[in-house]
Amino acid sequence: MSAVAPKLLVFLHVAVKQRAFQGELQAALPGIDVTAVGRIGDFDRALQEGPDAVLTLPVVLAARGLPVTMHGRRQGAADETYALVGSDSTPDAAKIQSVGALDLLGRDGTNAFVARLVGPRPKVERVTKVEDLLPLLQIQRVDAILLAARFVNELRVASRLNLTERDLATKVELAAAANLGAGGAQILGALRRLPTGLSNAVGVDEWR
């Protein structure tokens, strides 16, 4: 009888489709059962199934009462810059009325996350994928979009809009992992050996 593979649950917004991201992770983590989701509701449901480890943002772990066992870092830093991105004119957090953002924590949690970065003024339009942010600007549904600054160049390539950005003072912690079950230590060890390209896709270059 073969041993049950340890389960890794991943909830991260990346620049590729979740199915492709899950496939790349699965290929890089042989012997581990990988589930990658892009919606907080799917994350909460999968969490009920008892994964051995979780890979997501620390703000998500904290909201669900989960411990951070291993921190991602990039260029020695444990956090990264977020930016407000607008079209034609550089957005001002004190003046914008609406902002598009990735849904990290459901309505109330995401609203609080956005308010921590840009203040409570703007109305928040939530989307579930990085590529869904640009259309909010294109159809002028929002005054600006909020995302990790490392995504901005990719948006420029994908858009004909004259995108302008303003880096925000408050930074956001990079991806982290929680050890939750018997196979967690094995999974965290494997994550430390992820190929460079995959680590970069989740915004980190080393784990500590």
**Average pLDDT, stretch 109-132?**
96
> Residue 30 above 70 pLDDT?
yes
Residue 23 has pLDDT above 80, yes or no: yes
Domain 82-170 annotated CATH 1.10.150.110: no
Of the pLDDT bands very low, low, confident and very high (cuts 50, 70, 90), residue 158 is confident
Radius of gyration of the chain measured on its C-alpha atoms: 17
Domain residue spans in the chain? 7-74+174-207, 82-170
Return the closest-CA partner of residue 21 out of 205, 177, 198.
198
Would you place residue 2 in the very low, low, confident or very high pLDDT band (cuts 50, 70, 90)?
low
Q: How confident is the model at residue 146 (pLDDT cuts 50, 70, 90)?
A: very high
What is the rounded distance in angstroms from the CA atom of residue 103 to the CA atom of residue 163? 22
CATH 3.30.1490 fits 7-74+174-207, yes or no: no
Residue 10 clears pLDDT 50, i.e. is over it: yes
Burial class (CB in 10 A: 0-12, 13-18, 19+), 199: buried
Q: What is the per-residue pLDDT for 35?
A: 97
Contact between 145 and 85 under an 8 Å Cβ cutoff? The reply is: yes
Predicted local confidence at residue 3, as pLDDT: 73
Q: What is the pLDDT of residue 1?
A: 39
Check for a shared fold between 7-74+174-207 and 82-170. yes
Give the whole-angstrom CA distance, residue 152 versus residue 165: 8
Per the prediction, the chain carries an average pLDDT of 95
DSSP string, 109-133: HHHHHHHHHH-S-SEEEEESSGGGH
Span 34-47, average pLDDT? 97
